[in-house]
Amino acid sequence: MERRGLLPFVVTAFFAVMISLFTFSLIDSKDAEPPKTETVPDGQSKSHDSDISNEVKNNIKGNKANVNNSIDNDLNNGEDSQIDNNVSNDIEVNVDVNVTNTIKNKADKNQDTGQKGNEKENSSGDKGKENDQDGQSGDDEVVWGVDSASLTTGDLLSCVRENFGSPKVWGRYLGEKEGVSAGITQEEAELLQGNDIKLLVIWNRFNDARGLGNGQSEARAAVQLAKDLGIPEGVAVFADIEPDYPVDSSFIEGWYQAMSESPYEPGIYGIFDEEKALRKAFDQAAAENSPLLENTYIWTAAPNKGITTQAQAPEYKPEAPENSLIAGWQYGIDAKACNIDTNLFNKDILDVLW
């Protein structure tokens, strides 16, 4: 009887203890610090598992295109991270293309980082290779340019830009040669230079390229006229030796000697095909004077591929004497739309142009 009388008190005490514990647990949960939430900028991940997918598509049609795509992914302390970048450029243009894709992926302290691919696809509707808008060809070491026997006017410059491209080099003549070429003027030089175009200086006031003394006298005449025009020191002057001119190694040696003694640099233009008289004369002069080979700029007109636009310029493969200092390649002559020839120049030649 006494044990049965104690049982209700024991049960009541047990439930009282349980209710007290439950009440205290509720109070503690209200006072607990709330969970922290960290906001991470786009393109960054600091979690253990990261999955970033970037996709850029450009579809452009027009006369000119300038595309700049930039993706920057920064993953820190990820243990399992996946990056998928996909950039696709579909461009149909008639003249100029400039595409820049920049993708940066940074993954620090990752145990397992999978970069599914940085895919960059450039598709151009041009028939020729891609060139940029300021005379730069697809090859970073080559620039596109023209030369002309005509006085450069705003109309001629516009004609070239509208029909062919944007030259970085423009070849012009020192002094007038009647019936052949107009001489460059100071105003013309200012027009071209004001449009970020360098002048290649040509001397053509002769038609016989034979004899040491003749080569020296032609060089000295060119030097004097260059000084009169205010052409600065260090600019190359190119003797224009046409394929129908008689030529010998002595003339080339004389030209080199006199130009080397002047403030200017020696250069020679002509068809440097192996079978041409000019090539044979130059090879002979170079064999007798190795500095001549090393220091004479060669502007070759071989081979002739025909006039093209800047966008359709051929691959840079000039024909010139072995180990010579190649300045450029006149690959096409006598354009119909404008009175120009088309060229590709070694970018280093810009340092010795006006």
* pTM assigned to the model: 0.63
Q: Return all residues near 93 (Cβ < 8 A) that are at least 6 apart.
A: 60, 61, 62, 63, 64, 65, 124, 125, 126
Q: Return all residues near 235 (Cβ < 8 A) that are at least 6 apart.
A: 201, 226, 264, 265, 352, 353, 354
Two structure tokens written together for 54: 């970037």
The H-assigned helical ranges of 266-312 are: 277-288, 290-295
Contact 96, 65 (CB under 8 A): yes
Highest mean pLDDT among 26-35, 101-110, 129-138, 223-232: 223-232
Q: What is the pLDDT of residues 45-61, one digit of tens each?
A: 444 444 555 565 555 44
Predicted pLDDT of residue 302? 98
Beta-carbon neighbour count of residue 33 at 10 Å?
5
Predicted pLDDT of residue 251? 98
Please name every residue paired with 76 in a beta bridge, in sequence order, or none if there are none: 108
| Distance between start and end Cα atoms, the chain | 125
* HSE toward the beta carbon, residue 255, CA cutoff 13 A: 36
Confidence band for 33, pLDDT divided at 50, 70 and 90: very low
Predicted pLDDT of residue 318? 98
What's at 5, amino acid-wise? G
Predicted pLDDT of residue 237? 98
Q: What is the pLDDT of residues 292-328, one digit of tens each?
A: 999 999 999 999 999 999 999 999 999 999 999 999 9
Predicted pLDDT of residue 135? 39
What's at 139, amino acid-wise? D
What's at 48, amino acid-wise? H
Nearest in space to 102 (alpha carbons), one of 115, 85, 81, 90 = 85
Q: What is the pLDDT of residues 165-201, one digit of tens each?
A: 999 999 999 999 999 999 999 999 999 999 999 999 9
Whether 159 has a pLDDT exceeding 70, the answer reads: yes
Q: What is the pLDDT of residues 62-86, one digit of tens each?
A: 444 555 555 555 545 444 445 555 5
Percentage of the residues of the chain whose pLDDT score is greater than 70:
60
Domain ranges for the chain: 44-124, 142-352
Confidence band for 87, pLDDT divided at 50, 70 and 90: low
Predicted pLDDT of residue 194? 97
Predicted pLDDT of residue 83? 52
Predicted pLDDT of residue 122? 40
Q: What is the homologous superfamily of the domain 142-352 according to CATH? A: Glycosidases (3.20.20.80)
Q: What is the mean pLDDT of residues 274-302?
A: 97
Whether 19 has a pLDDT exceeding 80, the answer reads: no
Average pLDDT for the chain: 77
